[in-house]
Amino acid sequence: MDISSAMTIILFLLQTSIGAPANAFILMAYAQIAYTEKDLRPIDIILCHLVFVNILRLLTRGMPQIMYYFRLYNILDDAGCKLVNYTHRTSRGVSICLTSFLSVYQASALSPSSPRWLYLKSRAQKYYIHYILIFWLFNMLLYVSTITNVFALKNGTSPTFQFNNGVCYATYVDSRFYLCYILIFNGHDVFFVGLMLSSSVYILYVLKRHREQVKYIHSTRQNSKETAERRAAKNVIQLVFLYAFFYGADICFMIYTSPFSTIPSHINEIRLVISSCFAFLSPFLIVSFNRKIESYMLIFNGHDVFFVGLMLSSSVYILYVLKRHREQVKYIHSTRQNSKETAERRAAKNVIQLVSLYAFFYGVDICFMVYTSRFSTIPSHINEIRLVISSLFAFLSPFLIVSFNRKIESKFRCCLKSRDK
């Protein structure tokens, strides 16, 4: 495997194994806040839908690519490919709409108290759930037409003049409808991206004007609600600019590849990675500016989540390399092998066992942590069980290390024999 392919599969594994759980944790945190405090603002509801859409985008974009690199070509049939592609396109469209609505909502919250703005503000605050539902229904209906031109790859082959991710492919629409196709789908994206950027520029203008107004005011007393709204507005702008950056990069690749009848695989892979970067990075940005979510995420310890995701991604990659090697030597009758490569594969299997042991006890510990998070005082017997489980890896791992390290095992045997004598 060349270095570019190895880097690509590692990136997809990282995006899926870290990004999807990070979004899921935020969704769980909001559910916990809604259950305990019953204090979810409209902006929090919008962010809940956004992180749910991020999970769908990462799974429907990352999993087919991981399947392709693991050579699992025939798992998805035509119906499966249509469902995966339709879910991804719909979630992408909803993501654009929600990010745009987030910026518009925040702009209306900062707007002056004129009759026109008050009307818009009241409607945004009263009917925001209706708008979110409309976004879902609109995109679900809009992308129904994409189902007809998506198919599963048969024996690794596909027709020309198409876009494929190695597992599924999409044929281009008939040339008679191509212009209409471009105008509808790209027009949808351009409208909502333009709306979110316009709202963000207006938010920046309001914040700049406010800073000039209070520049020479020495009083430190400020309306806490207004201060919170301005802080939320700055955070929304960061989220919008993050989306606009990756959307712009995706559009640049789309324009660059438009003259090609078949898109080169390395360019296609780069574009697929970039298209998932917002869904991967946005949860960390959301956590950084939401104190309630940040305090809840501290329970899970983001440091641990990152490195556990990294070890699991590396382990999956190791399994893939071992599986591919086994397929390569399956029909080779010679028993002569490079001793260094054999030792490396044996070491890789041992590392997988060690990682699996750690991941198992870490997962059990997290389950107990989630279960006890709703208690103000943790019951003593549950706390004791969790303390025992948290130490089991440190207790069992030495025996596993001894079992697969012959030098250490021989040293132990020598010590035992000398003791017997």
201-222 pLDDT tens trace: 988 888 888 777 776 665 555 5
Both 391 and 275 in a single domain?
no
Q: What is the pLDDT of residues 322-361, one digit of tens each?
A: 777 776 666 565 555 555 556 677 777 778 788 888 878 8
30: nearest Cα among 46, 7, 14: 46
Q: Is residue 161's pLDDT more than 50?
A: no
Both 295 and 315 in a single domain?
no
Predicted confidence band of residue 256 (pLDDT cuts 50, 70, 90): confident
Both 74 and 160 in a single domain?
yes
Q: What is the pLDDT of residues 32-79, one digit of tens each?
A: 788 777 778 888 899 999 999 999 999 988 888 877 777 776 778 888
Helix (H, G, I), strand (E, B) or coil at 40: coil
Q: What is the pLDDT of residues 118-143, one digit of tens each?
A: 777 778 788 889 999 999 999 999 88
Both structure tokens of 237: 């702008």
> What distance in Å separates the CA atoms of residue 396 and residue 211, rounded to the nearest whole number?
59
Q: Is residue 96's pLDDT more than 90?
A: yes
Residue with tokens 């492919």: 169
Both 293 and 350 in a single domain?
no
Give the end of a domain, one of 300, 325, 340: 300
pLDDT score recorded for residue 95 = 94
> What distance in Å separates the CA atoms of residue 170 and residue 163, rounded to the nearest whole number?
5
Both 387 and 293 in a single domain?
no
Q: How many structural domains are present in the chain?
A: 2
Global confidence as pTM: 0.73
Both 103 and 34 in a single domain?
yes
Both structure tokens of 94: 């909803």
State the residue range of the domain holding 69.
3-300
CB atoms within 10 A of CB 108: 19
Both 82 and 167 in a single domain?
yes
Residues in the chain, overall count: 421
Q: Is residue 90's pLDDT more than 80?
A: yes
> What distance in Å separates the CA atoms of residue 21 and residue 7, rounded to the nearest whole number?
21
pLDDT score recorded for residue 98 = 94
Sign of CA dihedral 247, 253, 257, 258: positive
85 touches 146 (CB < 8 A)? yes
Q: What CA–CA distances, in Å, run from 354 to 19, 329, 392?
A: 24, 26, 12
Q: Is residue 16's pLDDT more than 80?
A: yes
Residue type, 176: R
User: At residue 388, what are phi and psi to the nearest 5 degrees?
Assistant: -65, -45
